[in-house]
Structure formats: C-alpha cells, structure tokens
C-alpha cells in the first residue's frame, strides 16, 4: 500500500469530526505483524481507538503520519 494516510484527507472524508479514524478499509497487517498496511496503526492503537478522547486520537494521528514520513 503506497497511498499516504493523512489527517487532512480523513477530515475531508468525515467532515466535522475533530479526530476521524485513519481507517481506509484496507485491514491487513504488515509482514512483521506490527502495523496495519492500510491505516498504519498498531493493533493496540486500533483496539483502543473507540475509547480514546480526541487528544489521544490526534496523538495517534501524529504517529501514523510520522510512520509514513509525513512531516507535521
């Protein structure tokens, strides 16, 4: 999967949501089984997502973008 996953694009898909989900419906683990190849989140991040507040979700977004080499 080579398509970048960004907070800006997620906000365009989910208008009005402060911290939308990074999920792009490509749910598959990488070869090392550490991150989803679609959204670039860890299993722990995916599992916790629904219980997190917006600040914690935005922290994960920073990590997702950093994993892809996207500067803030």
Whole-model pTM over 0.85: yes
**CA distance linking residue 30 with residue 19, whole number of Å:** 24
Backbone angles phi, psi at 32, to 5 degrees: -85, -5
Give residue 3's pLDDT band: very low, low, confident or very high (50, 70, 90).
confident
pLDDT (mean) for 57-63: 98
- The domain spans of the chain are 7-67
Tell me: the pLDDT tens digits for 8-54? 999 999 999 999 999 999 999 999 999 999 999 999 999 999 999 99
Q: Tell me, what's the pLDDT at 71? A: 74
Residues in the chain: 72
């Amino acid at each position: 999967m080579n398509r970048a996953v960004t907070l800006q694009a997620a906000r365009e898909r989910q208008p009005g949501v402060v911290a939308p989900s990074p999920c792009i419906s490509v749910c598959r683990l990488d070869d090392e089984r550490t991150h989803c190849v679609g959204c670039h989140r860890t299993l722990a991040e995916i599992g916790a997502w629904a219980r997190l507040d917006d600040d914690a979700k935005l922290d994960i977004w920073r990590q997702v973008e950093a994993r892809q080499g996207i500067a803030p």
